[in-house]
Amino acid sequence: MSDLVEVQGLRKAFAGRKRFGRKKAEPVAAVDDVSFSIPAGETLALVGESGAGKSTVGRMAIRLIEPDSGSVTFDGGDVLALGSAELRRWRRNAQMVFQDPFTSLDPHLVIGQTIEESLQVHGVGDREERHERMLGLLDRVGIRPDQADRYPFEFSGGQLQRIAIARALAPEPRFIVCDEPVAALDMSIRASVLNLLRDLQEERGLSYLFVTHDLSLVRAIAHRTAVMRQGRIVEMGPTQRVFDSPEHPYTRTLLAAVPIPDPRIQRDRSRTVGQEVSPAELEEAPASTEDADPEWTTPANTLPVEDGLVAGPGRDDEVVVGLEKRSPSE
């Protein structure tokens, strides 16, 4: 399956706080050399703790934020080379579902107007066609069409996120960045929203970049998973492999923190994933193969392919950054 989205070497730094005694504030690197690809019809989960740079990557992937360097390719075309008019036309292909549905929808517009406005901005149909399409979108995401003239405050959080998804679907995109789409929702309704996203993907062949800090959601939605720490991807591969055989200490630490109700499964997972890794060990994990000492060795089923990257056991483009720590006697 060909890649729809390809990101190479994205970097982004933001202005830091000015410290006492210094004339200028030092920039803070939010994203440092991030690369990945997403095939058509698949989901890549981008996971990591708050502040890792996940949302910044998602926004750069659709040019809501301009990167300092790197490239973004969509269906073979250079997204970063698009002018303002071309970019507006291209945005029909790429949309975003934000974390907080309470603030992402205009409180002064009824929900029908919100969706019709999205259609109008992208030049879809005439007024009557846009209205009919809006009603169909609401129905598809589980909102009754007769509720189209209600304001956002009249809906629950789960309903608002469904409306936000309908708005994102309006111009018929091929790629959607889902930025913590269920983080603000009650546990009881998270599954229904995830099921909706998965069903829409199957129906429309959508590609998702699914940004989350909650690893318990990833297996249900993602084909592949990339783990971010301090602005860099430290591990990436098929979701099943990342969960069952994590290679990087930070990935193992994240997985060890995911609660499992069944104690027998928790014990089995602990034996597979290993014990939680200390902060000191995380800092010792080399960022590139050149930094490795004799205690750090590549797993038996991997081969180094370039600085900082280790080819994984799956597809050629699946990589792991960082190495596994083993004792010298092993």
Tokens at 246, concatenated: 């994590």
Phi, psi of 253 (to 5 degrees): -65, -45
**pLDDT tens-digit series, residues 26-35:** 788 899 999 9
At residue 108, does pLDDT exceed 50?
yes
Q: What is the pLDDT of residue 214?
A: 87
pLDDT score of 264: 60
31 found inside a domain? yes
End position of a domain, from candidates 200, 222, 246: 246
Q: What is the pLDDT of residues 240-280, one digit of tens each?
A: 999 999 999 999 999 988 776 555 655 555 554 544 454 45
Enumerate residues 6+ apart whose C-beta is below 8 A from 172: 92, 204
Query: Residue type at 258?
Result: V
pLDDT of residue 2: 83
Instruction: Give the domain range for residue 8.
Output: 1-93+174-246
Are residue 50 and residue 113 in the same domain, yes or no? no
**Pairing assessment for the beta strands 232-238 and 224-229 based on DSSP bridges:** antiparallel
Average pLDDT over residues 108-125: 92
- Whether 325 has a pLDDT exceeding 50, the answer reads no
What's the pLDDT score for residue 186? 84
* Whether 216 contacts 258, CB under 8 Å: yes
| pLDDT value of position 73 | 96
> What confidence category does residue 95 fall into, taking pLDDT thresholds of 50, 70 and 90?
very high
Do 129 and 205 lie in one domain? The reply is no
Q: What integer pLDDT is reported at residue 305 of this predicted model?
A: 32
Cα gap 32→290, rounded to integer Å: 18
Helix (H, G, I), strand (E, B) or coil at 143: coil
Judge if 179 and 241 occupy the same domain: yes
Same domain flag for 114 and 221:
no
Do 80 and 112 belong to one domain? no
The beta-strand segments (E) located in 195-289 are 207-212, 224-229, 232-238
User: In 3-state terms, what secondary structure has residue 70?
Assistant: strand
Instruction: Give SS3 for 236.
Output: strand
Residue 267 within any structural domain of the chain: no
Share of the chain above pLDDT 70, in %: 76
Decide if 21 is inside a domain: yes
Residue 309 lies in a domain: no
Residue 329 lies in a domain: no
Which SS3 state, helix, strand or coil, does residue 67 take? coil
pLDDT at 114: 95
- Assign 62 a pLDDT band (cuts: 50, 70, 90): very high
The pLDDT score that the predictor gives to residue 24 is: 72
Regarding whether 181 and 87 lie in a shared domain, the answer is yes
Domain boundary among 224, 246, 268: 246
DSSP designation for 79: G
Q: Is the pLDDT of residue 324 over 70?
A: no
Are 135 and 193 within one domain? Answer: no
How far is Cα of residue 124 from the mean position of the Cα atoms in its chain? 28
Note whether 44 and 115 are same-domain residues: no
% of the chain surpassing 90 pLDDT: 61
80 and 179: one domain? yes
Structural domain total, the chain: 2
- Is position 73 within any domain? yes
Each residue of 164-198: pLDDT tens digit?
999 999 999 999 999 999 888 888 889 999 999 99
The CATH number for 44's domain is 3.40.50.300
Which of the listed residues 137, 156, 172 is the one where a domain comes to its end? 172
Mean pLDDT of the chain: 82
Answer whether residue 265 is part of any domain: no
- Domain identity same for 83 and 180: yes
> Looking at the predicted structure, is the pLDDT value of residue 162 above 50?
yes
- Higher pLDDT pick, 53 / 315: 53
Q: Are residues 161 and 189 in the same domain?
A: no
Task: Determine, yes or no, domain membership for 278.
Answer: no
Q: Are residues 80 and 153 in the same domain?
A: no
Phi/psi for 106 (5° steps) reads -65, 115
| pLDDT tens, position by position, 272-306 | 454 445 445 555 554 432 333 333 333 333 333 33
